[in-house]
Amino acid sequence: MLRRLSIRNVVLIDKLDLDFRDGLSVLTGETGAGKSILLDSLGLALGARADSGLVRHGTDKCSVTATFTLPAGHPVYGLLAEQDIEVEDDELVVRRVVTSDGRSRAYVNDQSVSVGLLRDVGNYCVEIQGQFDQHGLLDPTTHRATLDAHGNLGSLALAVRDQWRAWRDTQKELTAATNRINKAREEEEWLRHAVDELEKLGPEEGEEERLAEERQFLMHGEKLVAALNDAESELSRGKGAESALRSAQRHLERELQKAEGRFEPIIEALDRAAIELEEASRAISVTLADLNVDTGQQENVEERLFALRAAARKYNVPVDGLNGLMKDYRSQIDQLEFGEKELSRLTAAVAEHRAAFIDAAQKLHGARKAAAETLDTAINAELPPLRMEKARFVTDIAELEENEWGIDGIDRIQFMVATNPGSPAGPLNKIASGGELSRFLLALKVVLARVSAVPSLVFDEVDSGVGGATAAAIGERLHLLAEERQILVITHSPQVAARGRTHFNIAKSENDGSMVTRVNELVDGARREEIARMLAGHSITAEARAAADSLLDQPR
């Protein structure tokens, strides 16, 4: 529960340290004294939106620190463990600092954290119910979550969400696959024609470059043959170059002994030249034999090259891409057969997930029906003590049409009330008045507190719009609720204030030329005077003091 709240430089509050006890704590004060500032400060420490306007004029920053003691096994410990935040002696300290330029920092046990984590921690520790939050009851979209929380239906609701997502995701897959297959079917005839055409053409990787080179060569074939013939003729003119080399070699060899080694280099050079000449002559003969300057071959090469390039232009790919394109088109055709099987599989999966969702949703529907009965019974039991003996609270659960099903199941849930005997139940916003809404809200909070893990509840003027016996009844219910939870209530009702175990007074005064808000704990006579003021106004009479004594004599 909340043990201490320390506020520094928040609007009209320069320095404030409040210690809270368990049970019911009440905060009173005149309008404009700063009660809302106190709530804004607590909200800031719990992760509410930061605003530079909260920083007290003349200072560079404000801060709020809230200290809690929580029982072992409280859910917040698991959340903190995930963030490697240690808690010693079951004490949890949250702090928020806001600078004058609007920037803020958040801390949990002196460890810097995100505001999102601070908010999650705060939701586990305190629930603040403002005087206008009762209108949340008027929004039916909040009723489902309220009922599920009361019935502890979290696991069933989670199963429904999981099955809904599985169903929807599989349905999306089926839709995408169907669209893909339908498109392929529309193009199937063209794809088959293209594959047939490309298969007949039979393109090969690198074929264009090879054909282009061959075409270039064939275009100059006749000139090349003539050059080779001329070269061969020159080498064989007369006795031939090779014969001349060998003849010269023989002349030198006959006189080799007499030359005393001078002819050996010459003879070796002539021998090498003869060998090279022989190889050149052989190469000329081989090349002449290999050359095919048939004009028909050139035409064939050009026809093949032009056919490949025409196909490349038609399919808007490079010539070397034709083979890959043909394989891709074949794959798309093959996908049609595979796609039919995939459609069958996805269709079966959609039906399976739909059935699983309906099964989970029906189980949740039944559990919600049972939870609604217990909720209605519990809330209706709280209404007579709140001076609403003739009122009736009903949780209406209606099954939705399939096109309205969603992640939360198949139910439309709405809290209904009937404030007069014999009248049909209707929506809260059309039946209940402002004061009645406050009491319905309180009854609901009393019931939900029995299953909530949140140890501290804050009510801001839950008694708004009521007085007299009704205000006394609200005080009684808050007193009973405080036996199970720590309750802080801001009130203008003396009947409620008198029920508090602890009483704080919020007042505004001038200090060194500026206005400041102070909060003081009232005891004994000071408390009696405050309640008398709430009863009588500024002029406190003896009768008001006597009435205050009577209220304070009630159990607290």
Number of structural domains in the chain: 1
Q: Please, what is the Cα angle at 321 between 316 and 323, to 5 degrees?
A: 120
| Type of residue numbered 121 | V
Give a yes or no: residue 260 inside a domain.
yes
What percentage of the chain carries pLDDT values higher than 90?
A: 29
On whether residue 41 sits in a domain, the answer given is no
Answer whether residue 239 shows pLDDT above 70: no
Domain that holds residue 288: 180-336
Average model confidence (pLDDT) across the chain: 85
In a domain, 214, yes or no: yes
On whether residue 358 sits in a domain, the answer given is no
CA Rg, the chain, in Å?
Answer: 48
In this predicted structure, the answer to whether residue 243 has a pLDDT above a threshold of 90 is no
In a domain, 80, yes or no: no
Residue 357 falls inside a structural domain: no
What global pTM score does this model have?
0.62
Among 230, 231, 226, 274, residue whose Cα is nearest residue 249 = 274
Report if residue 491 sits inside a domain: no
Q: What is residue 370's predicted lDDT score, i.e. its pLDDT?
A: 96
Q: Using CA atoms, how far apart are residues 357 and 353, in angstroms rounded to an integer? A: 6
Give residue-wise pLDDT tens across range 363-379: 999 999 999 999 999 99
* Other C-beta atoms lying within 10 Å of the C-beta of residue 87: 17
Question: What is residue 488's predicted lDDT score, i.e. its pLDDT?
Answer: 92
Per residue in 102-159, pLDDT (tens digit) is 899 999 998 999 999 999 998 888 888 754 455 456 678 888 888 998 898 989 999 9
Using one digit for the tens of pLDDT, what is the confidence trace for 325-369? 898 888 877 777 777 788 899 999 999 999 999 999 999 999 999
CA distance linking residue 308 with residue 312, whole number of Å: 6
Q: Residue 251 domain-assigned? A: yes
Tokens of 51: 């605003």
